[in-house]
Amino acid sequence: MKQAAGNPDELKAKFWKALADSPFLFLQRSGDSGSAVPMSPQLDKDASSAIWFFTHTKSAFAALGPVTATFQGKGHEMFARFDGTLARETSQERFDQFWNNFVAAWYDEGKADPDLLFLRMDLGSAEIWDGDIGLLNTARMALGMYVEDEAEERHVKETSL
């Protein structure tokens, strides 16, 4: 298998920016494709090893454990798949940091809703693709010319976020 030639630090920075600009990713419990649903990640610009989610105690994610997330940025400029582990987040400070009207709209009793569950996804390995292949490569593709080498320069496998 060909090793990706992408710049991991550059692609990670671009990934975090794209994720911050988009309200959703797809999350599923590992090995359970039926649990896959769109979720709204809560991000802290100073915490690059975790993301947070609000969910219900009746969701499949209440079981905690290994999960996989897939992400497509706005305009298809960024794609990523990353693994991690869900755990209950017990920090009230973190809870208050992310609570907002968009989250409150999902819980009848607001912060006191008994079905509210606050989770942290501790991030593991990731694969990131930069979807911006540029005008020249788009023209090459239109002419049927080979572009895989250039595309591989915009791809990083098995990196940590």
Q: Note down pLDDT in tens along the chain; length 161 residues.
A: 233 446 778 888 888 899 999 889 999 999 999 999 999 999 998 877 899 999 999 999 999 999 999 999 888 788 889 999 999 999 999 999 999 999 999 999 999 999 999 999 999 988 888 776 544 444 444 455 554 555 555 445 666 66
State the Cα–Cα distance between residues 63 and 36, nearest whole angstrom.
Answer: 14
Give me the residue spans of the domains in the chain: 8-160
The label of the residue with tokens 């895989």 reads: 148
The two tokens of residue 92 are 């009230």
The two tokens of residue 84 are 């991690």
**What pTM was computed for the model?**
0.79
The two tokens of residue 78 are 């960024």
Q: CATH class for domain 8-160?
A: mainly beta
